Chain A
Amino acid sequence: MNVVHGYTLLLVFLLGTSIIFGPPRLAPDAWLVELIAVVPAGALFLLFVGLAAAGNGGNLFDMLDKAWGRTIGRMWTLCYIVYFLYIASRNVRDMIELVMTSILRATPPSVLIFMFVLVIAYAASGGIAATGRLSVLIAALVGFFFFALALLLVFSGSVDTERLLPFLSEGLAKVLVVPLKSSIWFPYGELVVFLVFCSSFGTARTFRRTGWLAMISACLLLTFSDLLQTSVLGMENIVFSIFPLLDAARMISIFNFITRLDALVALLIILGVLVKCAVFVHAATIGASRTFGRHRRFAFSSALLVGAFSILVTHNNAEHFEEGLKYVIYWLHIPAQLVIPAATLMLLRIRYRKGEREHEPRRLHDRLEPNRTRRGRADA
């Protein structure tokens, strides 16, 4: 996978659903939260890069086995498989809620989910390189549609920059704390899934550079999206809006001719979720095939499990948001994105110190001449 494919894959992955929902409205200046969040998110990403470098070309599951041993490593692998499928199912649920709200109101959600997971399964079975190539096209489409929406909002006179005021009405402290509560874990922390594919990026250095570039680009785009949403809807209305970009798109009316551009927003989220879920399902497939064998057959089964979980995950939208903002962050995201990777890195550093290779199989001439040192001199 070349640098461009890697960059667009990471960018579309980060934008995914975030461009539609924006950060949680825990602080009034959501756009500033988005801008500040890239700093702690960058620190978290450095942890992932450190793990990729310590893994010596292996993927996340190899690192877990090396650090924790075979039994506990396989247990963590299973936990990560379920975690990736759960996050994919939440994304599918987000997409389905928006699509059913905006365009396909009468279609049963199960039908939509089933058809969508088949597409995800096909995308995931093609491999990460194919998803990377697809993401180039999707990034172009997402960029085009998003900037088209922005321009149309400006031309329709819906944008009023005074709606961004008052600035820092609840102080700077709240704005600094909110990224640690939410934005760092979603969407930036989800980059942990790319530890499964870090060898596809080449070296850890390439992974770091591509990741940094994608994070900064995503941060700027998401900040712009939040500024746009706030200047169209206003701070009071945006708090009560479930899909702010969708509500903003509904304000577009140019000469009463160009109206009702909900479908553009639905297309944005469909494309973003397609790439995100394909990445998560492919990662889960790799983990499952490593644990149970036989790679390709898991792709369709994993995608069907994602569909099933997306129906079971919550009963309604309110529960979906509460679960995502409160419980999932503390019980899933923080352990999977911070605690386990940090512990794994620490264990790898302790067990496989630089220059020393523990558990390396002894070479033939070591067995023939047990007194010969590594530098080739026989001991006296």
Chain B
Amino acid sequence: MTALGVWTIASMGLILLAGLDMLVYGESFYKACWHLLFDYTHVPAFVMIGAALLLAGWGDAGAAVLRRLRALRIREERK
């Protein structure tokens, strides 16, 4: 859920930035997204977004593993 949240917030943020670029430069939404996504100077930004998603996903995966282990332990105790 954390990764989904980070992905949702990142997507909405990128849409907001593209929308503001549309207003400033008077270009279409498609062009604004193109300039946002396909610009080599923006690579560090997408690396950070990727790191945020990875961090969130790692946390979710870790939590899922812990839940599974807890469920197995409870099942063992009931036996």
User: Which residue numbers of A lie inside 8 Å of B, CB to CB?
Assistant: 78-79, 81-82, 85-86, 110, 113-114, 117, 284, 288, 291-294, 297-298, 300-302, 304-305, 307-309, 311-313, 319, 322-323, 327-328, 331
Contacts and interface: CB of A to CB of B under 8 A. Distances in A.
A328 B23 CA distance: 10
Contacts of A323: 20, 23-24
Contacts, number: 103
Interface string B37-57: 000011011101101110110
B59 to A, nearest CB: 4
B52 A78 contact: no
Contacts of A86: 13, 16-17
Interface of B: 1-2, 4-6, 8-10, 12-14, 16-17, 19-20, 23-24, 36, 41-42, 44-46, 48-49, 51-53, 55-56, 59, 63
User: Which DSSP category, helix, strand, loop or mixed, fits chain B's interface?
Assistant: helix
Contact of A305 (B9, B19, B20, B23): B9
Which 3 pairs, one residue from A and one from B, show the smallest C-beta to C-beta distance? A292-B5, A110-B44, A304-B52
Given A312-B45, A327-B24, A331-B23, A304 B55 contact: yes
16 contacts: A85-B9, A114-B48, A291-B5, A292-B4, A297-B56, A302-B6, A304-B48, A305-B6, A308-B44, A309-B17, A311-B42, A311-B48, A312-B14, A327-B23, A327-B24, A328-B20
Contact of B17 (A79, A293, A298, A312): A312
Nearest to B37: A312
Contacts of A298: 2, 5-6, 56
A291 B41 CA distance: 33
A82 B24 contact: no
A294 B1 contact: yes
Contacts of A79: 12
Contact of A319 (B19, B24, B44, B53): B24
B59 A297 contact: yes
Contacts of B5: 288, 291-293, 298
A186 to B, nearest CB: 16
Nearest to A322: B24
Contacts of B9: 78, 81-82, 85, 284, 288, 302, 305
B4 A308 contact: no
Contacts of B53: 301
A85 B9 CA distance: 9
Given A82-B9, A82-B16, A297 B48 contact: no
Contacts of A117: 48
A318 to B, nearest CB: 10
B63 to A, nearest CB: 7
A305 B24 CA distance: 22
A372 B38 CA distance: 68
A284 B6 CA distance: 11
A309 B45 contact: yes
Contacts of B2: 292-294, 297-298, 301
A114 B43 CA distance: 13
A297 B46 CA distance: 19
B48 A305 contact: yes
Given A298-B5, A298-B6, A301-B52, A312 B24 contact: no
B59 A294 contact: yes
Contacts of B24: 319, 322-323, 327
A82 B20 contact: no
A39 to B, nearest CB: 30
